[in-house]
A = this chain, B = another copy of it.
Amino acid sequence: MSLLVIGSVAFDAIETPFGKTDKIIGGAATYISMAASYFADRINLVSVVGGDFPVADINRMENMGVNTKGLQIKDGEKSFFWSGRYHNDMNSRDTLVTELNVLGYFDPVIPEEYQNCDYLMLGNLSPDVQLKVMERIHNRPKLVAMDTMNFWMDVALDDLKKAMKKVDVLIINDEEARQLSGEYSLVKASRVIRDMGPRYLIIKKGEHGALLFYEENVYFAPALPLEDVFDPTGAGDTFAGGFVGYLASQDRVDFEHMKRGVIFGSAMASFCVEKFGTERLQDLQMDEILHRINAFIDLTQVDISLTS
């Protein structure tokens, strides 16, 4: 099934305790598309870059099965640029530079051939843009998933709430869930947030795994204990891409498939953090992906038969 992906395509410059990069490609939609490309048949990208964005990187995405017809290229202008430095524990970072550039006035255009998309992933962007995308698609997709961040809760809460009413799955981290709900307990937070619209809620906890809430059910997927996290940039977007890409590949929307999607997302995120930026996502083999997914399953496998 086809997957429509909206989000930033950008430059990042990253500094971690293991080293630093010059400008490399990044952006939520880049990570989402690359991760999803291993599963979904067709990925249709909607985003915007400046004329400074390397054509080689656009071609690489095309070669990975990402349709870039919806990637607007603004000649003579600059792509979105973010630069950050991670602390030693890799769980916190300082933003050094944020230049919105072409993303500051992004008006998403949906090419005609993208209409009738089956699955829609709204990567982290202004809720106003996320709303515009949903308005400009003629038929509602089978599934709409959305990411957001605390910044939008601070500056655009009304639009965010409008967007949330229209989505099936919200994917956020624990800190964002607490801010959005005003509840510290994630169980309580999950109820408040699902009352705002999304039937399914995924709360990412970084190295501590992810929780999936649906009706009275909760599913927990661990993160794989890793030797080292080399660069966490894009891990959350990669999770979302693996998750929604898996669902699109199976074309099933129910709790059981969502659980499997969370494992696929976690597995893809565990690759992402092994190298800088998108490097590790560019040339994965399906064998190693399945091997990694089996490692996730083994991690929580236990044989207890109980009768109560």
A residues neighboring B (CB under 8 Å): 88-89, 184-188, 205, 208-209, 211, 218-222, 225-229, 256, 259-260, 263, 286-287, 290-291, 293-294, 297, 299-304, 306-308
State whether A220 touches B225 (Cβ < 8 A): yes
- Chain copies in complex: 2
15 A-B residue pairs with CB within 8 Å:
A187-B225, A187-B227, A209-B209, A219-B299, A219-B301, A220-B222, A220-B300, A221-B300, A222-B222, A260-B302, A260-B303, A263-B302, A287-B308, A290-B306, A294-B306
State whether A88 touches B184 (Cβ < 8 A): yes
Question: Smallest CB–CB gap between A182 and chain B, Å?
Answer: 13
State whether B219 touches A302 (Cβ < 8 A): yes
Q: Which residues of B contact A263 (CB under 8 A)?
A: 302, 304
Closest to A17 in B: B184
Cα–Cα, bound, A219→B224 (Å): 10
State whether B308 touches A291 (Cβ < 8 A): yes
Q: Which residues of B contact A300 (CB under 8 A)?
A: 219-222, 300
State whether B185 touches A226 (Cβ < 8 A): yes
State whether B218 touches A225 (Cβ < 8 A): yes
State whether A302 touches B259 (Cβ < 8 A): yes
In the complex where A89-B184, A184-B88, A299-B219 touch, is A260 in contact with B304 (Cβ < 8 A)? yes
**5 nearest A-B residue pairs (beta carbon):** A290-B308, A300-B300, A208-B208, A220-B222, A259-B302
State whether B302 touches A228 (Cβ < 8 A): no
Closest to A226 in B: B187
Cα–Cα, bound, A259→B259 (Å): 22
Question: Smallest CB–CB gap between A205 and chain B, Å?
Answer: 7
